[in-house]
Chain A
């Protein structure tokens, strides 16, 4: 992640068209050696096609892909220094676990003794030590995925490609595998490129995320930057939950700005936007950045904020929906204009959910550095 990071994969102006459908549209991005890179996007956005082009199963219509500085044009999948973990795992059903893992090594002409050692080492790495003699149909989905992982890692590829690696696992196992994959990646130091449509998965595992929308890179950023500084409405909406208000930029100075959003009112920011005055912009505001006042608290907060008029934004409304999720409670609040706003509130004590009920009139505030102004 440093400035000196060396790109192991360079995707340069790559497009892929299937007939009239453009799956990948002029994508350029670099993936650095040793990082855990995630391609995130909704289904059908072209992320899997991009991954398959790196593996060599699809050929770019335009542009080129370099792996470790070498142009991959004309190099078939079996000659590329990358290995892939397939969504269906693709564990060979007619071979034992050990034979599955040894498959690539045998083809590479590795000696018998070394094959045995490396297979055992790879199986230990994915916590399947001692499972070598089993057949794939005697293993669970999660275990088969580990076999697929071991089978790829044993080849010591420069890059490991993972296609929706956790989509077939149940929620608990998925959360556990997220940690294990990150741990594994740090341990082996191989570059991981993962494709997923699950934002939680992406945020928890990635060093950097490339959000793909309609075949184009919507944003390339670290997980926290992606969440806190989305660069457009698609990313703000796709990654996490968000309130989006349309408005006009009415004040834009170096240290403050205001956006007039019909139905919500003026939203103040404590930084400049550098957008044209009067331009149409969008405000993205995360539900957890909005603080809901318990009855009586609102006035005190407002009074305290009098000294810093631009420091806080206030709003009033009525609770129209509540959903208790255990750790947090989600509120849907209808403002006086009829506009709705989503607020989440952590349940810090065991009685917090009793503070509010339907149709309660409430006030809320959020800091002037919480809203994100989006120009597109």
Chain B
């Protein structure tokens, strides 16, 4: 069996707040094989963004290990860290706040290569920037533009080009299309998928939008209050969702056709606080099937079918 490109083992990230300890990421285990896309789905406050940043060590994990290409990078520093940063990049949600407003498009895309010194010489650098702009579908004339002069879709293309500049193997896409209009959204999704085919990239795709994640992912992990509660290959998850929360999420998407116009919401209430959660299933307070055994003790992620993991007493 080949070593997976990325693996997390018992990854935790806690934040101390005045009200208690916030469990943003709580014991998350998963692997991503090379060339695959893991979709991470969940509602606001479920810790999916923190997970992405912790994996890239933009925030330091509280506990657990991150393995990248077979090497433990949890405490990597210096040269090792440099190598990891080169290979693991990120695309952000809001293309307007993720681009330095004082830098032109050309400078923005060249910046990672200048910092990492992967390409030296002004001419070569410029050539490479034009090449990257070409890859992500930005006209050459935008080389001298500033981000605020461009629309959201083009700005996100700059974000993609910047992430590609160091030729990474792995990219965390943190809600890269959520801030965009649907027609532009589809353009960026197509771009990301084409790039994956051409360059053999591996993605971790964070989003709250199940229809987007279905389109782009090979596997999906559903998160709820810092924990991964279900993980399965995409088709399997959509056909046989096992966790009540996953079922509710799937049911909640308004489908653009008239086959079923009744609105039924099975889960009540809203996400509870991630501060000092009690042991037991964190979804129990909203779950329509909750039983006494759901609370009191923590549950394990059980493998119920090949590669299909669920954290629920019902299965």
Q: Do A and B bind each other?
A: no
